[in-house]
């Protein structure tokens, strides 16, 4: 795995954690009513998808447990169909899918320096 690819995996991890942090303690109603939180989460999810698009096909094949195609597809939808974002889908992705993704990425990135 190239150094650049590790950097993209780290970017995915950091952006996933940020998105989760931005909604920590919120419920869906609060999220739906906060343009600020929606924008912050959207940006981080876009970063996750953009970084995923730079991961090699070899790494994607080796780590098929990670839904690369869906991650990149969500990013593309958020960027190219920004006018038709379904907040419920974004909320569920952040609440249900990102914690799983974080767990899947953890073994692929170097440990954080304390």
The residue ranges of every structural domain in the chain are 3-106
Looking at residue 114, its pLDDT comes to 53
Cα 80 to Cα 99: distance, rounded to the nearest angstrom: 25
Cα 11 to Cα 9: distance, rounded to the nearest angstrom: 5
3 state DSSP class of 63: coil
Q: What's the whole-model pTM score?
A: 0.90
> CB within 8 A of 35, min separation 6: which ones?
none
Looking at residue 78, its pLDDT comes to 85
Looking at residue 37, its pLDDT comes to 97
Query: pLDDT averaged over consecutive 10-residue blocks of the chain (114 residues)?
Result: 82 98 97 96 96 95 96 89 81 96 94 69
Looking at residue 2, its pLDDT comes to 53
């Amino acid at each position: 795995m190239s150094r650049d690819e590790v950097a993209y995996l780290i970017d995915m991890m950091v952006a996933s954690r940020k998105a989760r942090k931005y909604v920590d303690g919120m419920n869906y109603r609060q999220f739906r009513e906060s343009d600020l939180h929606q924008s912050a989460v959207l940006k981080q999810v876009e970063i996750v998808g953009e970084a995923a698009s730079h991961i090699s096909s070899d790494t994607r094949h080796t780590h098929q447990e990670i839904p690369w195609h869906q991650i990149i597809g969500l990013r593309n939808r958020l960027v190219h169909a920004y006018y038709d974002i379904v907040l419920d889908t974004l909320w569920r992705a952040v609440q249900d899918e990102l914690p799983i993704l974080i767990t899947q990425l953890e073994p692929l990135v170097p440990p954080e320096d304390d």
